[in-house]
Structure 1
């Protein structure tokens, strides 16, 4: 049977930490808890569960904190846990079974991360496989009897274990502040993180968050970026144009987005919203229709599902078509329910 170190990074998690540690009890062999500056009872709660507690000075870098936590682990495998996660009894039993029979050649175990849409996370789906269990020391093996080579890709196993994500609040405000600090420091941000920033803005950002981000996304256009990233930037800048009621900014980036072949649902929605606010209902309907039926979302799945249908219902109401409005509302509910 394998042994497991659970590694966590925490700050002010007194409201959720106990339920997380309860769900880990009996599953892992040690808990490494790295605290990045708690001022509440987080450490006291951790002490009750015999966690190995380490302080880590926060440097706006979650990866650095994760790496530090891994350096303190001593078991065969490392389980990455967050304080707002819970493993229910059904999945605790699956976890126990996995621990008993995990094959030695497996380097990474993925588990289903669930409950995403309920809390406005940065993902457009309710569950996804995430790597959660890692072999602490990975051996390397030669294969092939001739022209032998070393296996470089890790062996990954997709388990049936489900991890319930249950945050007390949305983390977007914290994340936006971190992004802005990184930008001001001049730290290079990967395309992956740029995409996460854009997605989180469209899922949980307010108007000021978009305007704060506008200079950064505009500056990206001075570089050579991929077509996929370019479409995300256009979505952000069209939204900023609508917030500022800047028709020239909307026109500039919406047209470029449409010209790329297939428009983004977010861009169509924003243009529809622009015309709706100007009370040009007929034009708004065209763009909301495109968002709902002709395009795909780049950043927030709701912009190609229920949100444009809800706006179409309002448009039809304003036009006096109450029957049509009711039909769009029904469709919006159906689409929204199908997301969960």
Structure 2
């Protein structure tokens, strides 16, 4: 049977950690908990399940913390989990079965990450998506091709049907947005992925203050030659919202029109709809909300293509 190391990084997770570990503990051959500065009973709860508890000084780097946790693992595969996720009995059974039949050449197992977000959505534009959850701790390189042989570089990935339930008990939006802002302040250029996550999290979970704090970062984005068209459109969406908040109509229209000329998106249509609605120009507002719901797609927040314009159109038609 294949052996699994459960590796987790945690901080102040006393409300959810036991739920997670109860659903996984008997499937794991060792449990490694890395605490990044808890001030509640998180470590006390973790100690009921394992004595492999380590402290890690937080350096604003989730990847560094996960790599530290992985460095403590000794089993064949590493299973990564966040404290606010768990598996139900049926998927517990499937993971047990996976341990019995997993082929040694498989290096990554993807499982369905199922969002049950309630009021704590921060970046969830999906309900169910495949994510890598289990990976081989040590990789063996293999020669392939009978002639002009080469090393296989692409990992062998198995897409399973296992579902992991993600059910947070609080919003992490403020934490994440603060961390992203600090990366900019340190002069770190955000990767394409983090650029998208920053813009998406602003639109899904950001407060007005979060948008205003992000202005400098996204002003730089639109001028960076390395940014793709998609990233520039993301930055334009953020800046359009910022300048509507600030009442800076010149820059609001400049970026809204620039984004529309690039092909537009539901976010920009909603911004224009909100602007004209605030001006009392209901017919113009309705046109832009209609475009958001029917003529464009969202790039950051699916609600800009669904509930936001739909509710706005209902509001305008009942006046």
Which category of TM-score, normalised to the shorter sequence, fits these structures?
over 0.9
CA displacement 1:188-241 (0-9 Å, x = unmatched): 221110110000000000111101111110122221121110110111011111
Determine the structure 1 residue equivalent to 2:45. Answer: 45
Determine the structure 1 residue equivalent to 2:196. Answer: 195
Q: Residues of 2 paired with 1:247 and 1:270: CA distance? A: 12
What are the residue-to-residue correspondences of 1:85-100 with 2, within 5 Å? 85-100=85-100
Q: Residues of 1 paired with 2:315 and 2:124: CA distance? A: 28
TM-score of the aligned structures, taking structure 2 as reference length: 0.97
Any conservation in 2 of the 1:207–1:243 contact (CA below 8 Å)?
yes
CA displacement 1:217-269 (0-9 Å, x = unmatched): 01222211211101101110111111112211111011111111x21100000
CA positional deviation for 1:10 = 0.4
Is 1:293–2:289 an aligned residue pair?
Answer: no
What are the residue-to-residue correspondences of 1:267-286 with 2, within 5 Å? 267-286=268-287
CA positional deviation for 1:57 = 0.3
CA positional deviation for 1:123 = 2.9
Q: Residues of 1 paired with 2:54 and 2:62: CA distance? A: 15
CA positional deviation for 1:13 = 0.6
Change (3 A) 1:4 1:24: same
Q: Point out the more displaced range, 109-118 or 302-311.
A: 109-118
Determine the structure 2 residue equivalent to 1:106. Answer: 106
CA displacement 1:261-313 (0-9 Å, x = unmatched): x2110000011001101111111011101101000001001101121010011
Determine the structure 2 residue equivalent to 1:321. Answer: none
Determine the structure 2 residue equivalent to 1:332. Answer: none
Q: Residues of 1 paired with 2:25 and 2:182: CA distance? A: 37
Q: Residues of 1 paired with 2:115 and 2:56: CA distance? A: 29
CA positional deviation for 1:314 = 0.9
Determine the structure 1 residue equivalent to 2:236. Answer: 234
Determine the structure 2 residue equivalent to 1:327. Answer: none
What are the residue-to-residue correspondences of 1:141-160 with 2, within 5 Å? 141-160=142-161
Change (3 A) 1:91 1:51: farther
Any conservation in 2 of the 1:116–1:123 contact (CA below 8 Å)?
no
Any conservation in 1 of the 2:17–2:45 contact (CA below 8 Å)?
yes
CA positional deviation for 1:117 = 5.3
CA positional deviation for 1:147 = 1.2
Determine the structure 2 residue equivalent to 1:58. Answer: 58
Any conservation in 1 of the 2:25–2:31 contact (CA below 8 Å)?
no
Change (3 A) 1:123 1:75: same
Q: Residues of 2 paired with 1:65 and 1:252: CA distance? A: 42
Any conservation in 2 of the 1:79–1:134 contact (CA below 8 Å)?
yes
Q: Residues of 2 paired with 1:71 and 1:306: CA distance? A: 44
Q: Residues of 1 paired with 2:243 and 2:148: CA distance? A: 58
Determine the structure 2 residue equivalent to 1:252. Answer: 254
CA positional deviation for 1:146 = 1.5
Any conservation in 2 of the 1:12–1:41 contact (CA below 8 Å)?
yes
Tell me the matched-pair count: 317
Q: Residues of 2 paired with 1:220 and 1:87: CA distance? A: 39
What are the residue-to-residue correspondences of 1:210-221 with 2, within 5 Å? 210-221=211-222
Determine the structure 2 residue equivalent to 1:67. Answer: 67
Structure 2: where are the runs of 5+ without partners? Answer: none
Q: Residues of 2 paired with 1:51 and 1:270: CA distance? A: 52
CA displacement 1:142-186 (0-9 Å, x = unmatched): 112211111110000011110000111111000111112111111
Determine the structure 1 residue equivalent to 2:14. Answer: 14
RMSD of aligned residue pairs (Cα, Å): 1.0
CA positional deviation for 1:96 = 0.2
CA positional deviation for 1:37 = 0.5
TM-score of the aligned structures, taking structure 1 as reference length: 0.91
Q: Residues of 2 paired with 1:290 and 1:310: CA distance? A: 14
Structure 1: where are the runs of 5+ without partners? Answer: 319-340
Any conservation in 2 of the 1:117–1:124 contact (CA below 8 Å)?
no
Q: Residues of 1 paired with 2:136 and 2:304: CA distance? A: 40
Any conservation in 1 of the 2:269–2:288 contact (CA below 8 Å)?
yes
Any conservation in 1 of the 2:222–2:236 contact (CA below 8 Å)?
no
Determine the structure 2 residue equivalent to 1:205. Answer: 206
Is 1:179–2:161 an aligned residue pair?
Answer: no
Determine the structure 2 residue equivalent to 1:163. Answer: 164
